[in-house]
Amino acid sequence: MLKFLIVCALAAMSAAEIAEEEDVLVLKKSNFEEALKAHPNVLVEFYAPWCGHCKALAPEYSKAAGMLKAEGSDIRLAKVDATEESELAQEFGVRGYPTIKFFKGGEKGNPKEYSAGRQAEDIVSWLKKRTGPAATTLNDVMQAESIIADNEVAVIGFFKDVESEDSKAFIKTAEAVDDIPFGITSDDSVFAKFEVAKDSVVLFKKFDEGRNTFDGEVSKESLLNFIKANQLPLVIEFTEQTAPKIFGGDIKSHILMFVPKAAKDFQDKMDQFKKAAEGFKGKILFIFIDSDVDDNQRILEFFGLKKEECPVIRLITLEEEMTKYKPESSEITAENIISFCTSFVEGTLKPHLMSQDIPEDWDKNPVKVLVGKNFEEVAFNPANNVFVEFYAPWCGHCKQLAPIWDQLGEKFKDNANIVVAKMDSTANEIEAVKVHSFPTLKFFPAGDERKVIDYNGERTLDGFTKFLESGGKEGGAPVGDEEDEEADDLDLDDAEEDDSDVEEGHDEL
């Protein structure tokens, strides 16, 4: 008996050693397994103290932990300083910050990657979906009111027969949606409270019209389309918190209004923008970006804009290839925006390709300067082999490459058939090459075939020289099995210079 008490006391002491900060468990290698034994469902954030994204997530993460704790839930949130606990980070394949993994049932193996938004409600909803029924059974009005009050968006299925085919389709839909809570009810008082006369699906939200009622034949596909069209506000502001919802959603066509929120006519512009948005729900996402915010300047730059030019409108498609469009009129009115979006939907708009003016001394130096207006003439000159670096002025890897690229230009400056060039892809765009990361290196061999060859080899003078002297046949691929140096990604889902990767090399847009 004494031995048993000692074992219990030691176990209690071990559990007590797991410290908490603002309701979040602080885990280390020494207490990680103990935490999984004590708490069957744990969401763990692997973070770095210097990571800007981690700092932005922290208050929402703590809020979510407090919400679950207040409910008496057995789900806990925890964090690991991956810079201190490098063994744990390595064990769970942490390559970027924050990395968030869900450990279910006390199991250490095969944790699930967290895949929803970074606001407290998103985190709680995702966790509840992973640990409970896809749709909560609502037995009375209070439960129904609670799920609506506690969430920005909630979907409730009203079915007199919860075993009906429509009800089963509703449950399948709930299982497919991670970031929105679902409820289901057959209770007459709940039907009456929300003035629902027959079986129906209603999306409740704390913005715009407040609720949307599904009208159509119930199926998983039709319900998902209904939710997709109504779960976001008609107009949504781009922030670090909303970015996952904006870029993680199914709507890949986005119209952006760059406008300073401090401007006197801000509300008027917003009213016009919102009025235009009403006719394109589910087709085009309407987003406004505060052009005065420092973190948003990279996005302005991506569209070739300066904040002094705002307010302006642009449209972008984020399909396999990003394509940008510019309205003919700069006047922001609902009529002009509707006309612009209608032309886009009907497929009659031509993409907007940025270009700087051709510099007078573009060919003065060994490395030639290309812009959109002279690219075709130079790169596809059938008499020349042309090697082009597509760069961004802010790109760290481009800055490292610059002296080597200058040496390459100097080496081949007297070769009449080889041209070494560069193009600022933040200010110039061309049809032939879609740039997704910096630096991007492309070779345009001589001839009339308009070939484009990717260069993925060593970024050294010797590597480049071997590649050019072989006519683009040798040295263009990665050496052996070694990983190529990571490029600076050009991603629109991040508004600030990114520090989310453990490895150097991600200045994201």
Give residue for tokens 């990604």. 489
For residues 442 and 207, give the distance between their C-alpha atoms in angstroms, rounded to a whole number.
47
CATH 3.40.30.10 boundaries in the chain: 20-131, 136-229, 235-346, 368-478
- Write down the pLDDT at residue 246: 84
Please report, for residues 306, 374, 421, the alpha-carbon distance to residue 361 in angstroms, rounded to integers and kept in the order given. 25, 13, 13
Q: Cis peptide leading into 98, omega within 30 of 0?
A: yes
Domain covering 20-131 in this structure, CATH number: 3.40.30.10
CB distance 457 to 479 below 8 Å: yes
Please enumerate in sequence order all residues whose Cβ is within 8 A of that of 61, keeping only pairs 6 or more positions apart, or say none: 24, 45, 77, 79, 120, 123
CA-based max dimension of the chain: 93
Residues 235-346: name the CATH superfamily.
Glutaredoxin (3.40.30.10)
Asked if 341 is an active-site residue, the reply is: no
- Would you say 108 and 34 are in contact if contact means Cβ atoms under 8 Å apart? no
Strands 75-81 and 153-158: unpaired
Number of separate helices (H) and strands (E) present in the chain = 16, 23
- Count Cβ atoms within 10 A of the Cβ of residue 255 and give its class: 0-12 exposed, 13-18 middle, 19 or more buried: buried
CA 381, CA 421: separation in Å to the nearest integer? 13
Q: What is the 3-state secondary structure (H, E, C) of 10-32?
A: HHHHHHHCCCEECCEEECCCCCH
Predicted local confidence at residue 486, as pLDDT: 46
Q: How is the beta sheet containing 312-318 ordered, strand by strand?
A: 235-237, 285-290, 253-259, 312-318, 322-325
Q: Which two tokens stand for residue 335?
A: 């009529």
pLDDT in the model for residue 488: 54
d(CA 204, CA 217): 20
Residue 258: count other Cβ atoms within 10 Å of its Cβ. Answer: 23
How much is the pLDDT for 476?
66
Residue 344: both structure tokens together = 């886009």
Cβ(252)–Cβ(306) below 8 Å: no
pLDDT of residue 463: 93
Distance CA 120, CA 123 (A): 5
Q: What are the residues whose beta carbons fall under 8 Å from the beta carbon of 343, sequence distance 6 or more? A: 349
- From the list 8, 310, 341, 398, the catalytic residue is 398
**Superfamily for 368-478?**
Glutaredoxin (3.40.30.10)
Tokens describing residue 73: 């839930």
DSSP secondary structure, 191-225, as one string: HHHTT--SSEEEEEESSTTSEEE--S---HHHHHH
Q: How far apart are the C-alpha atoms of 235 and 266, rounded to whole Å?
A: 13
Q: Provide the angle, in degrees to the nearest 10, between the axes of the packed helices 220-230 and 165-176.
A: 50
Tokens read off for 273: 């923008």
* Cα(505)–Cα(135) distance, integer angstroms: 42
Angle at 451 between CA 447 and CA 455, to 5 degrees: 120
Residues 67 and 61: their CA atoms lie apart, in Å, by 10
Amino acid letter for position 163 = E
Q: Which of 8, 310, 341, 395 is catalytic?
A: 395
- Show the tokens assigned to 303: 């569209």
Reply yes or no on whether 51 is catalytic.
yes
Nearest to 254 by CA among 509, 497, 492: 492
**SS3 state of residue 182:** strand
Q: What is the pLDDT tens value at each position of the chain, 509 positions in all?
A: 545 444 444 444 444 468 999 999 999 999 999 999 999 899 999 999 999 889 999 999 999 999 999 999 999 999 999 999 999 999 998 888 899 999 988 788 878 888 788 889 889 988 988 888 889 999 999 999 999 998 999 999 999 999 999 999 999 999 888 778 999 999 999 999 999 999 999 999 999 999 999 999 999 999 998 998 898 899 999 988 788 778 877 788 999 999 999 999 999 999 999 999 999 988 999 999 999 998 898 888 888 888 899 999 999 998 766 788 999 888 999 999 999 999 999 999 888 888 889 999 999 999 999 999 999 999 999 999 999 999 999 888 999 999 999 999 999 999 999 999 999 988 898 888 888 788 999 999 999 999 999 998 999 999 999 999 998 888 766 644 333 444 554 444 433 333 333 333 333 34
Catalytic option among 8, 54, 310, 341? 54
Residue 130, CA atoms < 13 Å, CB-side half-sphere: 26
**Which one of the listed residues 8, 51, 310, 341 is annotated catalytic?**
51
**Quick one: pLDDT at residue 282?**
83
Which value, to the nearest 10 degrees, does the dihedral of the CA atoms of residues 248, 250, 255, 257 take? -30
pLDDT of residue 387: 97
CATH class of 136-229: alpha beta
Burial (CB count <10 Å: 0-12, 13-18, 19+), residue 109: exposed
